[in-house]
Structure 1
Amino acid sequence: MRRTYWGGCHCGAVAFEADLDLGLGTVKCNCSICAMHRMWGAKADSDEVRITKGREALTDYSFGGHVAHHYFCRTCGVHPFAYVDIPEDGRRYWNVQICCLEGVDADEVRNAPLTYEDGRSNRWDRVPADVSLL
């Protein structure tokens, strides 16, 4: 069921709202930064995430093809979300870090479909050969 979640970073400098239906599924990617951070996200359309506090406290890190902008709190270093803009196919969405959300129903997440993406090879529509460390 779609609902509005509130979330933020560890130190409280950044806060946001996200309209999500966690029951529709979550995603894990094997690109280098997602794998290093153990990103476990939920996708939201570009208008479904609103930064309500601390936009100035965020820093943006992008690499490679610069299609994903990974935002981090400048104070505590938490990575609450990334914004993805893939011009080749027009996809634009947020990938919200589930662990940064308040009031998440663990059973809903546990029972939701989990999609693995092969971001390391820029093959977002394919499952990586090894997902054991994601």
Structure 2
Amino acid sequence: MSDTPPATARAFTGACHCGAVQFECSLDLSGAIVCNCSICSAKGLIMAFAPAEAFRVTAGEDHLNEYRFNRHVIGHMFCTTCGVEPFAKGEMPDGTKIAAVNVRSLKGVDLAALTPAPYDGRSA
């Protein structure tokens, strides 16, 4: 993965429910997934991925807390005020740092127009 987002990436802004945590990113929604792991299933997350360089928290860093479970490789970031997880931090198998963005927290996205692919995180 290069330091620049793929050519099909678009710029987005997003936030947690209360707006305390805000971010901007560049990502390709055609690569969105619905994971069946215990946390993604419980939260109803739709995730899309951005290289770490294409993701930036613009407000509310002090409102974030991290939750890790299972193998402790993904830092699920949630707002300490409203509890919403707008994104997670992790690494690709090659070590490239990424942001896993909760598509439901992006502004201006028509969720009905997306066709996220299933991902078997429960078995991973």
Once superposed, what is the RMSD of the aligned Cα atoms?
A: 1.7
Counterpart in 2 of 1:46?
52
Between 1:25-34 and 1:53-62, the stretch displaced more is 25-34
Between 1:73-82 and 1:89-98, the stretch displaced more is 89-98
Matched, 1:120 2:90: no
1:100, 1:118 → 2: CA distance? Answer: 22
Q: Is the contact made by 2:104 and 2:111 (CA closer than 8 Å) also made in structure 1?
A: no
Where does 1:89-128 land on structure 2 (aligned, <5 Å)?
Answer: 89-106=94-111, 109-110=113-114, 112=115, 114-122=116-124
Counterpart in 2 of 1:8?
15
- For structure 2, the 5+ residue unaligned runs are 1-7
Counterpart in 2 of 1:127?
none
SS of the counterpart of 2:122? helix
* Deviation beyond 6 Å, 4+ runs, structure 1: none
Q: Is the contact made by 2:89 and 2:97 (CA closer than 8 Å) also made in structure 1?
A: yes
TM-score if structure 2 supplies the norm length?
0.84
Matched, 1:85 2:91: yes
Q: Is the contact made by 2:23 and 2:58 (CA closer than 8 Å) also made in structure 1?
A: yes
Instruction: Write the letter of the residue equivalent to 1:104.
Output: V
Counterpart in 1 of 2:3?
none
| Residue from 26, 42, 45 that aligns with 1:19 | 26
Percent of pairs with identical residues: 44
TM-score if structure 1 supplies the norm length?
0.79
